[in-house]
Amino acid sequence: MTEFAPGFLWGASTAPHQIEGNNLNSDFWASEGRMPGMERSGDACDSYHRYREDMTLLADAGLDSYRFGVEWARIEPVPGMISRAELAHYRRMIETAFELGLTPVVTLHHFTSPLWFAQEGGWLGDRAVERFRAYAEAVAPILDGVEWVVTMNEPNMLAIMIGMARALQDDPHAADAWLSPTVDNEGPRPKTPAPDVKIGERLVEAHHAVREVLRERTGAKVGWTVANRAFVARPGAEEKKRELEYIWEDLYLEGSRGDDFVGVQSYSSQWVGPDGVEPHPQHPDNTLVGTAYRPDALSIAVRHTAEVTGGMPILVTENGIATRDDTRRIAYTDEALKHLRAAIADGADVRGYLHWSLLDNYEWGHWEPTFGLIEVDRETFERRPKPSLAWLGETARRLRG
């Protein structure tokens, strides 16, 4: 059996808005009160205050890496005003990871932006790239010793969210068709739109600008993460699959060329027919977010990413399943790792596996989908590790090269 290389990272991932709570100055916080059917994040998991407990549970389980984000809306609540206290807060998180023997993988932007940034045009505004670059310059000093930095999470999904926000500006009734970036088939709803290529090109430009800043001012490896659809073509639909892969993924994977690594984020797979992406049919095996149970998707995603990027180093920065049944979570992850090992055996340069998610958290408008290795009581914030956390830690110990 293929062994994972020495130094392979084993851990879990989170996003600040989903776990910290009370991200009052962010665009997503503002939108939570506007979209029908969207639940509020509120206190979330109160990880802003309880991050040491979260990291300790991760480390005590035998895992050695934690991917977390810094929140732009906290660091720069109004244009040009940088909060030294917030920078110090996130530096303490980094130092806590070091203290506990965890390798931090730090994400600078995970879907959410300051509200003022959105109000001046967001990623399509004239100053968007300049603003993002200035934010990265402010954060760079606290990244001393950090080996892995993600500039932006899932720009292809962010492009969809930006497109929907534009539609809402043009038509207030578009809020009725609001789509969570997490939930795939939530009752009668329109099909998820494809990312707008023009928006994607702007995000690539922003990524390259911040990559330059981080290379000038830190010693970190720099990359970004891409939501991988793991498309599989029906007979005769190969050309349609290639067309959709460019729009959905390859624009962003090609944008990662020249990076130090690229993040693969994989949950399920989708069929592509002659007419396009086929929606997931209703099925008892579907996950809580409506996606098909496809642990083999991780191998499809890793292989496709390696092919498009020319063998670039890969971090699996997210992989998991929305389920209430933790036994099913273990089964899914175990099979996904077997497929990952097969991809590595075939030559994919994979440097780590970070499970999504460490905690049951706020899934972008919904609390019901549970991805976590740890359950969180939303009233007391008590952490209750699930068997999957210990299982993943033991698996990491067994498979370390």
3-state DSSP assignment of residue 384: strand
pTM of the model: 0.95
Q: For 222-255, write each residue's pLDDT tens digit.
A: 999 999 999 999 999 999 999 999 999 999 999 9
Cα gap 231→272, rounded to integer Å: 6
Cα gap 298→321, rounded to integer Å: 12
> Is there a contact between 256 and 210 (Cβ–Cβ < 8 Å)?
no
Cα gap 192→182, rounded to integer Å: 11
Using the predicted structure, report yes or no on whether residue 187 has a pLDDT greater than 50. no
Mean per-residue pLDDT, 86-115: 98
pLDDT at residue number 188: 38
Phi and psi at 181, nearest 5°, equal: -70, -10
Indicate the pLDDT class of residue 166, thresholds 50, 70 and 90: confident
Residue type at position 234: R
pLDDT at residue number 57: 99
pLDDT at residue number 193: 80
- Please give the mean pLDDT across all residues of the chain: 94
Q: For 319-353, write each residue's pLDDT tens digit.
A: 999 999 999 999 999 999 999 999 999 999 999 99
> Is there a contact between 302 and 350 (Cβ–Cβ < 8 Å)?
yes
For the chain, state the CA radius of gyration: 20
pLDDT at residue number 183: 64
> Is there a contact between 325 and 372 (Cβ–Cβ < 8 Å)?
no
Q: For 12-28, write each residue's pLDDT tens digit.
A: 999 999 999 999 999 99
pLDDT at residue number 186: 45
- Please report the DSSP string for 61-74 in residue order: TT--EEEEE--HHH
Q: For 108-154, write each residue's pLDDT tens digit.
A: 999 999 999 999 999 999 999 999 999 999 999 999 999 999 999 99
pLDDT at residue number 322: 98
Could you tell me which of 9, 99, 97 has the C-alpha nearest to residue 55?
A: 97
Phi and psi at 214, nearest 5°, equal: -65, -35
> Is there a contact between 73 and 31 (Cβ–Cβ < 8 Å)?
no
Indicate the pLDDT class of residue 260, thresholds 50, 70 and 90: very high
Which residues does the annotation mark as catalytic? Answer: 154
Using the predicted structure, report yes or no on whether residue 191 has a pLDDT greater than 90. no
Tell me the sheet residues that pair with 315.
263, 352
Half-sphere exposure of residue 111, counting CA atoms within 13 Å on the CB side?
A: 23
Tally the residues of the chain: 401
Read off the DSSP letter of residue 334: H
Supply the angle between the helices 47-60 and 84-99 in degrees, to the nearest 10. Answer: 10
Indicate the pLDDT class of residue 1, thresholds 50, 70 and 90: very low
pLDDT at residue number 173: 61
3-state DSSP assignment of residue 190: coil
Cα gap 75→88, rounded to integer Å: 10
Indicate the pLDDT class of residue 179, thresholds 50, 70 and 90: low
Could you tell me which of 317, 332, 342 has the C-alpha nearest to residue 392?
A: 332
Cα gap 185→286, rounded to integer Å: 10
> Is there a contact between 291 and 282 (Cβ–Cβ < 8 Å)?
no
Judged by average pLDDT, the poorest of 23-37, 56-70, 74-88, 329-343 is 23-37
Using the predicted structure, report yes or no on whether residue 276 has a pLDDT greater than 60. yes
pLDDT at residue number 181: 64
